[in-house]
Chains A and B, each alone.
Chain A
Amino acid sequence: MFKLFSFRTMAIIKRELRAQVMTKTFIFTTIFVPVILIGLMALQTYLMSYKGKKDIHVDIVVENVQLVEKIKTEYLASEEFNHEKFHVNVISKDRDDFTKYVEKVKPDLLDKKLNGVFFLPTGEQFDKKIEYYSPNPKNTNVTGKIKELVNGVLVDAHFSDKSVSEEDIQFASKRIESQNFKISEKEGFEKDNYGAFILAGVLAFMLYMSLIMIGMQILKAVIEEKENRVVEVLLSSVHANELMSAKIIATTCAGLLQIIIWMLPFIFVSVTSLFVLPEKLQFSISLFQIGYFILNYGVGLVTFLGLYAAVGAIFDNMSEAQQGAMPIMFLILVPFYICFTLVKDPTNTIAEISSMVPFASIIVMPVRMAVIDVPLWEVGVALLVNFLTLMFVFSFAGKIYRIGILKSGKRPKWKEIYQWVRN
């Protein structure tokens, strides 16, 4: 019988930690991967909101001369426009003159000196119609802002000769602001926002990435020990199961260290008020959830590393082992994809069931917990399922590891591996 914590396992854990943590790869992936991820997200946000450095010039031509001043005033009063970059010229012309005008400014439009010309064919009745003439009429950055500007002016003009108060006009021109509230078992209501989805996405991605990355790391370590025959010397000092457990514990510790470093920003946001996120991006995460994530991650990592170690012991070289590890990849990939279904409907049945199914639970449950309030009993079932899976994986992975690790040469057949497990 082997002891899980003896001087032997401690020596192996210490060596493994030193070999895994004090490497450039570990430091790079732990510190730079989140930085790169955040950088990519920032780049995407920047690109989405990119307005261009060039000045924008648009003409607004109105049939109704009364609107000219109103639009000018509204434009100058509006905070939506950067008045140094966005130049609006308002003039009045009828339909025939407007056509001639467009012909006249066509060279400017084509030379991009002028971005576009809006035409408001508004007679006495203020129709809410606007025409836009431009070489690039799909530029929503321009059309969106002008439409909003003109809409306000038209509403104002429409009600100006009617006995309607200023407040009523403002009310009529105001758009509906939607605010969703999340109902949970907690007291009161929470304002809902995108924060939970972002948190869920980040969590799913981190779990997926680290399970695969750390899994590959242990696969490589096992194959290396097998290839350079160190394992034979090690087994003259320790029991095979001690060796496997010590390696997995060390790799799990390295993995936990990594995920804790990755979780630090979330822990800070959750327990301090130092960082204030924009309202739309705020998320609420309790210490119970953080605790579950870390425990679940630890259990999940040990389970998957057990599988990876067994596969590593079967094969002699990395390329064969990577092929052999494909079924494990599916066990990680499928739950990762199930997480995407949570975006459309966080309460869908597939996600609900898979969050309590062996292996899938490790990825799906924490992501579900980030999006909705999962009943406590379901969390309990998931935890129990994960622990039972861990025990099962360890018992049969241990048997495969113990025999496979000393085998070299011809690749064993699946029938042989089945016999190792049975014996």
Chain B
Amino acid sequence: MEFALEAKKLRKTFGDFVAVDDVSFNIPEGAVFGLLGRNGAGKTTTIRMLMNIYFPDEGQVLLRGASVGQEFRNRVGYLPEERGLYKKMKLLEVILFFAELKGVKGSEVKRKALDYLKQFDLLDRKDSKIEDLSKGNQQKVQFICTIIHDPEFIILDEPFSGLDPVNTNLLKDIILDLKKRGKVIIFSTHLMDFAEKMCDHIAIIHHGKMIKHGSLTELKSEYSQKNVSLVYEGDISFLDDNNMIDKIENFGRFTGISLKSSEDVQSLLHLLVEKKIVVKRFDANDISLHEIFINLTGDPSEPENGSESNVNAILNEEIANV
């Protein structure tokens, strides 16, 4: 099977720091691909290598079987995590400039730019300077710049940050429309909800290494066999020291239970009934991407900036000070 884009054994170091090590994945034609990982996992470095901004120390990136180069750059639209626009330029000017960089210019692209501005409710601001726009509106302009030249590949790094729910929906609809038109969409994100709803293929990077990749359905079925989603009433603390339980993640009303073996699912249900727990929902083949991600990357000994464990550590310190 020929893939649209293939990353083969990518490695990138900066001095002594290994940013990406032995990362390989394939992106099929027409896929919505999610590159997932915690902050600093190596997502941006991988994306930069995909676009040939960084040259890998080892490995290669193939575009439909051939090495990537300028040809790929011409066919890609990239939305970086941090907004990158010329603040002193006017909206329409900046969109037309980024289109021209991809070799697209003329009245046709101008008409398209005006259409997009109208769609994003920015037509009356077309002559405003970028610096006069709100963060959310700048994000919308950045997105228009990403797709104005009708790219075959669209790379979106945290595309929804800074957008209100209405604009998030609008952006989501446009992305789904692009998917329908056969575009390859690559998401880089740590928001698992969006990834789960929009991606059909994912790759999880942790500490620069690829720890999982493949279709989301396959991945979920692989992990769901040992997982149970439980909605209940009663006290289930007796499960804490039970031998068949690997891990319990309690979200209050809803609990995710990871079993040591898939054969223990029936035993667990039996035990709950025996202990007179009111079982409202027992889903034996379900696991969220969030849970898979936490299972694979959540290492309590290495708190991530802003992560729950980090927040807890800060809170504990505050309490100790009081």
Q: Which residues of A contact B (CB under 8 A)?
A: 2, 7-8, 11-12, 14-15, 19, 228-240, 406, 416, 419
Contact = CB atoms under 8 A, between A and B. Distances in A.
Contacts of A7: 100, 103
A423 to B, nearest CB: 9
Interface of B: 15, 48, 51, 53-54, 70, 73-74, 76-78, 80, 82-89, 97-98, 100-103, 142, 145, 155
A137 to B, nearest CB: 62
A234 B100 CA distance: 11
Contacts of A419: 15
B83 A229 contact: yes
B48 A406 contact: yes
A228 B84 CA distance: 6
B86 A230 contact: yes
B53 A236 contact: yes
Given A7-B103, A233-B78, A419-B15, A19 B83 contact: no
B54 to A, nearest CB: 8
Main secondary structure on A side of the interface with B: helix
B46 to A, nearest CB: 14
A14 B101 CA distance: 11
A231 B15 contact: no
Contacts of A239: 70
A232 B84 contact: yes
A314 B155 CA distance: 27
Given A236-B73, A236-B78, A406-B48, A229 B84 contact: yes
Interface centre among B48, B78, B84 (most CB of A within 10 A): B84
Given A235-B53, A236-B51, A237-B102, A11 B84 contact: no
Interface centre among A2, A12, A235, A239 (most CB of B within 10 A): A235
Interface centre among B80, B82, B101 (most CB of A within 10 A): B101
Contacts of A8: 101, 103
Contacts, number: 66
B100 A11 contact: yes
A237 B148 CA distance: 13
A238 B83 CA distance: 18
Contacts of A229: 80, 82-84
Given A236-B51, A406-B53, A15 B84 contact: no
Given A228-B86, A228-B87, A419-B15, A233 B100 contact: no
A15 B90 CA distance: 12
B128 to A, nearest CB: 17
Contacts of B53: 232, 235-236, 240, 406
Given A233-B145, A237-B73, A239-B70, A11 B101 contact: yes
A87 B100 CA distance: 77
Contacts of A240: 53
Contact of A236 (B76, B88, B89, B97): B76
A229 B48 CA distance: 14
Contact of B101 (A231, A232, A238, A406): A238
A416 B89 CA distance: 35
Contacts of A11: 97, 100-101
Contacts of B80: 229, 232-233, 236
